[in-house]
Amino acid sequence: MAGEDEAKQELNVVGMVGLIVFYLIIFFAGILSHKILKRGRKEVQKSQVSSNTEDMMLAGRDINYFVGVFTMTATWVGGGYINGLYSVAFTDIIQLICIFVGLIFSIPWMTASDAVTTPLRSSNLTMFASQDQTYSKFFGKLEKNDVGIWIDYAIMLVFGGIPWQAYFQRVLSARSVSVAKTLSFCAAFGCFSAAIPSIVIGLITMNTDWPSSSYNQALLPDDYKLAVPLTLLHLTPPAVAFIGLGAVSAAVMSSTDSSILGVSTMFTRNVLINVFLPNVSDRVSMWLLRFTVIINTVIAMMIAILVKTVYGLYLICSDLVFILLFPHLVMVVHFPKRTNKYGMIVGFTIALLLRVLSGEPVLKYNAIIKFAGYVEPHTNTDGDYVYGKQRFPFRNLIMALNFLITLSVTFLTQKLFEKYPDLRKFDYLGAVKDQEEAHEMEKKEESQKATNGNV
């Protein structure tokens, strides 16, 4: 076993060279794209942004259909220090091409491997060590007790992916509202298409006799998340593995650079500038953004090195966005008159508290609030400690409670300020002023529509 562990930990030179080559290609492409685009922009386009910092964050609000579809798709399929969204948007095009070409090119070589069996075959291959499989490996198996978990995750992943900063940064960078809408729908189709090669590779993984491959042993449960690199390394020739692993690295970069630029932009704009340095110059703002990118990159690198499950962290992030931000985004966009800052703060706080008390195996702590069907922590057959698990769709429940609490507190505070005007002097968050400004804005829009209709 010691020899096998050493073999598994051995550095793969072909894969490492592939990563370096593709990283360099994307890095220099980002620099070149920024310089070319900046030279070609017209003065009327430059007038659409108020500062160089906003230009860097939103690419001059000039992202067109072609680039926009690619960059919105790449945001979710998973170079922004110097050039901001310009570089991110156009390197996303290269990255998506690498993903499609690299993975699709690799699939025929995988299926030609002697270790891969006929699809839909139900014979009991030793895919997992010490685990019987009495069901089709093509379709998998869903336990009745886990239906609540699947429903919870399915709804969370669909709606929790909407309020992300990286996505709205693309929306704000579009030329117009109609362009932003079109890009969103086209990118949704692009995301679906981009998932097809990974699904096919997953099916190949399920139908591979791993002990007969160069891997020389059955997959352990912890190895299953490495399906793509393992199939590339052990089922394809070195040259194909070089291209395929480069494609995987491109997929990682396409999501990482978008996320880092998004969180850096949000922190710089909403915290550093708006709260602490409201009168700072545009030049200093740009350097603050670049410095924030460096800090966030270092933090992300440390997390990637120290945390064993990056995918688990991604799920937690989607989890929190869905529970905390999705309700507020829906209300601000569709029901602006029925929500204010007091309702949002109370709803956010209670929802966060409930989520923390519900436990999280990825962060290695058990639940204090146990919903129906809760699986208590236990020790498995191998003697390993297993943290407790919620089977009830509690994320959706907490999200719904966030909706109700926000609406209720908003309604209560609005009525109090209306009935007792003297209480407005305690409106420290300016909720009444925001509401009045919203009403004035709505009246102006209605007046403008009426004027345009008469014309």
pLDDT tens digits along 403-414: 999 999 999 999
What does the DSSP assignment read for 94-132?
HHHHHHHHHHHHHHHHHHTSTTB--TT------SBTT--
- The first and second tokens of residue 155, run together, are 């709804």
Written as one letter, the residue type at 171 is V
pLDDT value at position 6?
A: 44
pLDDT value at position 454?
A: 58
Between CA 241 and CA 238 the distance in angstroms is: 5
pLDDT value at position 107?
A: 86
- What pLDDT, in 10s, does the model give residues 436-452? 777 777 777 777 777 76
Q: In the structure, what pLDDT confidence band is assigned to residue 370 with cuts at 50, 70 and 90?
A: very high
Bigger pLDDT: 86 or 363?
A: 363
Tell me if 106 sits within 8 A of 228, measured CB to CB. Answer: no
pLDDT at 8 exceeding the cut of 50: no
Q: Burial, 336: exposed, middle or buried (Cβ in 10 Å; 0-12, 13-18, 19+)?
A: middle
- Which of 35-39, 187-191, 207-211 is the least confident region? 35-39
- What pLDDT, in 10s, does the model give residues 166-186? 677 667 766 677 777 877 787
- Which of 9-23, 34-48, 387-401 is the least confident region? 34-48
Answering whether pTM is above 0.75, one says no
pLDDT value at position 34?
A: 62
- The share of the chain scoring above pLDDT 90, in percent, equals 15
**68 to 93, 218, 256, 298, 396: CA distances (angstroms):** 9, 43, 17, 28, 31
pLDDT at 13 exceeding the cut of 60: yes
pLDDT value at position 210?
A: 86
Q: In the structure, what pLDDT confidence band is assigned to residue 58 with cuts at 50, 70 and 90?
A: very low
- The first and second tokens of residue 290, run together, are 């670049």
Between CA 25 and CA 222 the distance in angstroms is: 32
> Mean pLDDT, the chain, as a whole number?
75
Task: Report CA torsion sign: 133, 134, 138, 141.
Answer: negative
Cα angle vertex 389, ends 165, 370, to 5°?
95
pLDDT value at position 84?
A: 42
- Residue 265: how many other CB atoms lie within 10 Å: 25
pLDDT value at position 33?
A: 63
**181 to 174, 178, 295, 334: CA distances (angstroms):** 9, 5, 33, 16
Residue with tokens 């050039």: 83
Between CA 148 and CA 154 the distance in angstroms is: 10
pLDDT value at position 139?
A: 60
Bigger pLDDT: 291 or 47?
A: 291
- What pLDDT, in 10s, does the model give residues 412-427? 999 998 888 888 888 8
- Which of 117-121, 384-388, 394-398 is the least confident region? 117-121
pLDDT value at position 155?
A: 92
- The first and second tokens of residue 1, run together, are 């076993």
- 221-227 LR contacts (CB < 8 Å, sep 24+): 221/128, 224/128, 225/309, 225/311, 227/201, 227/202
pLDDT value at position 215?
A: 87
Q: In the structure, what pLDDT confidence band is assigned to residue 389 with cuts at 50, 70 and 90?
A: very high
pLDDT at 292 exceeding the cut of 50: yes
Averaged pLDDT, 342-370: 93
Q: In the structure, what pLDDT confidence band is assigned to residue 76 with cuts at 50, 70 and 90?
A: very low
pLDDT value at position 233?
A: 86
Written as one letter, the residue type at 101 is V
**432 to 174, 339, 435: CA distances (angstroms):** 32, 11, 5
- The share of the chain scoring above pLDDT 70, in percent, equals 71
pLDDT value at position 408?
A: 95
- What pLDDT, in 10s, does the model give residues 302-345? 877 777 776 677 778 888 889 999 999 899 888 888 888 899 99
- Residue 208: how many other CB atoms lie within 10 Å: 25
What does the DSSP assignment read for 133-179?
--S-TTT----GGGHHHHHHHHHHHHHTTSS-HHHHHHHHHBSSHHH
Phi, psi of 386 (to 5 degrees): -115, 125
pLDDT value at position 123?
A: 44
pLDDT value at position 251?
A: 65
Averaged pLDDT, 226-254: 80
Averaged pLDDT, 224-244: 83
Alpha-carbon 454 to chain mean position: 45
pLDDT at 26 exceeding the cut of 60: yes
* Mean pLDDT comparison of 12-16, 25-29, 182-186, 322-326, highest-scoring range: 322-326
Phi-psi region of 61 (alpha: psi -120 to 50; beta: other; left: phi over 0): left
pLDDT value at position 452?
A: 67
Give the three-state DSSP class for 48: coil
pLDDT value at position 448?
A: 74
Bigger pLDDT: 291 or 434?
A: 291
Between CA 325 and CA 126 the distance in angstroms is: 43
Among the listed residues 84, 31, 86, the one whose alpha carbon sits nearest the alpha carbon of residue 293: 84
Among the listed residues 226, 208, 190, the one whose alpha carbon sits nearest the alpha carbon of residue 71: 190
